[in-house]
Amino acid sequence: MSRPATTTSRPISGKRCWRPSGRPWSRRGGFRRFRAHDLRHTFAIRWLQKGGKLWPLSFHLGHTNIKTTEYYVQWLREHPRG
Q: What is the mean pLDDT of residues 6-35?
A: 57
User: Is the pLDDT confidence value at 6 over 80?
Assistant: no
CA 27 to chain centre: 21
pLDDT for position 36: 78
pLDDT of 30-75, one tens digit each? 656 667 788 889 999 999 999 999 999 999 999 999 999 999 999 9
Using alpha carbons, list the distances in angstroms from residue 47 to 1, 18, 58, 75. 11, 22, 11, 13
What is the reported pTM?
A: 0.59
Contact 31, 22 (CB under 8 A): no
CA distance linking residue 7 with residue 48, whole number of Å = 26
Q: Is 79 buried (19+), middle (13-18) or exposed (0-12) by CB count in 10 A? A: exposed
